[in-house]
Amino acid sequence: MEHDNEFEREVKEALARVDAPEGFSEQVVARARKRYPRPATRFATPAWRGAYAAAAMLTVIMGTVHVHQVHEEERRAAEAQQQFARAMDLTGHALDRVAVQLQQGQFGQITSVFENGREER
């Protein structure tokens, strides 16, 4: 039995917790950094983050300006369409008046306006 007790004691000693030597973790980290260097991350520096933020802001501003320009263009197109419709309405009325005058036999008066540049009565 003494042999069993000695064996158990040896196993306990072999499996006993042992604190790491001073500076061990730093050495492991240094060795890992040396063996597996970090890839260059120049685009993750604070200066680049600022550039990314500025680019994002510029994109938002340009998008806002574009939307404003589209709305302004649509407003102008609607205004031009209203002006065109009004001009066509006035032209239609004027042509209707000319047609009535032609039907009433006032053709001579109309031609004299074109020939002399003024209306004769």
Domain assignment present for residue 67? The answer is: yes
Domains held by the chain: number: 1
96 located within any domain: yes
Rounded to 5 degrees, what are φ and ψ at 54? -65, -40
pTM to 2 decimal places: 0.43
Mean predicted lDDT score pLDDT of the chain = 84
Question: Tens digit of pLDDT for each residue in 72-121?
Answer: 999 999 999 999 999 999 999 999 998 888 888 765 555 555 555 554 44
pLDDT 10s digits, 21-43? 899 999 999 988 888 877 667 77
| Cα separation, 78 vs 74, whole angstroms | 6
Domain membership of residue 28 as a residue range: 2-41+48-116
Distances from the Cα of 87 to the Cα of 63, 64, 69, 98, 101, angstroms: 36, 35, 27, 16, 21
**121, part of any domain:** no
Q: Is residue 99 part of a domain?
A: yes
In a domain, 66, yes or no: yes
DSSP code, position 42: G
Which is more confidently placed, 52 or 106? Answer: 52
- The candidate with the shortest Cα–Cα distance to 104, out of 96, 92, 115, 93, is 96
Within-domain flag for 6: yes
**Strand runs labelled E in the chain:** none
